[in-house]
Structure 1
Amino acid sequence: MKRLLSFLLVLALAACSQAPSEPAAPATPAEPAAPTAEPAAAPAAEAAAPTDAAPAAPAEGENAEAPAADAAAAAEAGTDAPVAELPAMPDPAKAPREGTDYVVLAEPQPTYTTGPGIEVAEVFAYTCIHCANLQPTLDAWKPNLASDVRFVYVPAAFGGPGDNFARGFFAAEAMGILEKTHNATFDAFFVQRKFQTASPEEVADHYASLGADRDTFLSTMQSFAVTAKLNRARQFALRTGVQATPTVIIAGKYSASMTGDRGPAGLVETIDWLVQKERAEAARR
């Protein structure tokens, strides 16, 4: 028994560290009178034509003015249209400590999940006491998240018996019981101390005690689909440089950790500040 308890203690500690007109013809000298009478009549006839046609000009002018008036109104309306306000940058006075509370990843990485908004991914382990202590703060914080933020859990897969808990997480997710079992698994490990070896069978027994069908759960834990998810979680942690739990990756760019002086509340404040920074910078790109 002492050997088993020592094994679980080592397991818990390991989990927490890890874009142009022609000119007029000249008058004829032999006939001076003829040009006097006929030219007078010609202008009169010519003058009549413009008089008859004159009423049509204003109508044509009115039709031409209508589109111009419409264009002017449209331009005026466009000038008065409200301009969308950009999200505010976070308060520098409340900035977390770069290098202590968070680090900027050397290269932005693909997020764990795909979709709109800003991803906040917690890499955690059921065998990590700091993750267990953080969970109540996360439970109080998550319901108030903005609609453009998506929070996801990423179980740590650092190898060894701890991977069986990660498989248990994915099996519970696949079977639709994760909401019921997540906090209960922290409790089973640290409070009830139900696990001796953390074998797949022992993990399945735990979930069966929470209402899952044991055989179905064990089979799901060992399925190809769960193994694929386990490998994806492992690759995400490796790409983002996760070395310990809990570690929170924001937008694939920032890695935030819980510190001894600020605790769970400080970590959540760091996450909020980085989310606001990412939102404001994205709107300005």
Structure 2
Amino acid sequence: MPWIRSLFFVFTLLMLQTVSAEWGEGWDPIEPPVPTAAPEGKIEVVEFFWYGCPHCYTLDPLMEEWVAKKPDNVVFRHVPAPLNPSWTVHSQFFYAAEALGVVDKLHVPLFEALHDKRRELFDKQSLIDFAVEHGVDRKNFTEAWNSFGVFVKVQQARKLSQRFQLDGVPAVGINGKYKTSATLAGSYPKMFQVVDELVKQESQSK
């Protein structure tokens, strides 16, 4: 009957409006919320990235600028998201560097080597050699890479990426409740506006 089809159309439209009302402008909610690693009273902002991603390379200096000016109550951390198996080696690289306290020495150079110099750094041996090129002890870096602690960190990064329902990088998670990206927000400047607004909202709710 025509009136049944009309009623179904109206019901569907109302349902879509209800769903849309639960989603933000330039961000998606995370349901259920993800527990954060931030101390009590702090707001956690997480950047999910992959070294092989050109968009992540573009975002990296912009994110560093934002981090330099972030509110004092914000705790920021990088998460090298292993969204597929081939990305895992870069997650291991990051966490091995983190374990040795040499992220600042290796993070930007690896991005530059991959995207500016087009170097093929996509396997364990080449990445360890790269760390050695930049003054890191081979034995120490290899041991860190093979350590249980790095294995656990990679698994945690994989699980966190799944809980944030990521379908790509770069992406930013805010306090375990929201995610945004340049795709969702429309541009990098708008993405940072979204991050600032959500950080402010979360700060007011503390």
TM-score, L = length of structure 1:
0.61
Could you tell me how far apart the structure 1 residues matched to 2:25 and 2:205 are? 22
Q: Identity rate of aligned residues, in percent?
A: 31
Given candidates 124, 127, 142, the residue that maps to 1:218 is 142
The equivalent of 2:98 in structure 1 is 173
State how 1:26-105 maps to structure 2 within 5 Å: 98=23, 101-105=26-30
Among candidates 14, 35, 49, match of residue 124 of structure 1: 49
Task: Go from structure 1 to structure 2 and tell me whether the alpha carbon gap of 1:176 and 1:199 turns closer, same or farther (over 3 Å shift).
Answer: same
Matched, 1:155 2:80: yes
Letter paired with 1:277: Q
In 2 relative to 1, CA 142–191 (structure 1 residues): closer, same or farther, beyond 3 Å?
same
Does 2:111 correspond to 1:186?
Answer: yes
Deviations 1:61-118 (A, max 9, x none): xxxxxxxxxxxxxxxxxxxxxxxxxxxxxxxxxxxxx45621111221112x231300
1:260 Cα offset (Å)? 8.3
Distance in 2 between residues matched to 1:191 and 1:215, nearest whole Å:
28
Q: Which has the larger radius of gyration?
A: 1
1:181-228 alpha-carbon deviations (Å, 9 max, x no partner): 1111111111112215x1100111111111111232122112111001
Q: Residue 177 and residue 165 in structure 1: after superposition, are their counterparts in 2 closer, same or farther (change >3 A)?
A: same
Runs of 4 or more, structure 1, over 4 Å off, are none
Residue 127 of structure 2 corresponds to which residue in structure 1? 203
Residue in 2 that maps onto 1:138 = 63
Q: Report how many aligned residue pairs link the two structures.
A: 183
1:133 touches 1:264 (CA, 8 Å); kept in 2? no
TM-score of the pair, normalised by structure 2? 0.83
Equivalent position SS for 2:172? strand
Matches of 1:114 and 1:277 in 2, distance apart? 17
Q: What SS does the aligned partner of 2:188 have?
A: helix
SS of 2:183's equivalent in the other structure is: coil
Name 1:270's counterpart in structure 2: 194
On the 8 A contact 1:137/1:265 being kept in 2, the answer is no
Q: 1:222-250, CA deviations, whole angstroms, 9 ceiling, x for partnerless residues? A: 21110010001111111121121011110
- 3-state SS of paired residue (1:245): coil
The residue that corresponds to 1:279 in the other structure is 203
* Shift of residue 163, structure 1, vs aligned partner: 0.7
- 1:238 and 1:253 mapped to 2: Cα distance? 14
Counterparts of 2:50 and 2:119, CA distance in 1: 16
C-alpha deviation, 1:147, in angstroms: 1.0
How large is the RMSD of aligned CA atoms in angstroms?
1.7
**Counterpart in the other structure of 1:257:** 181
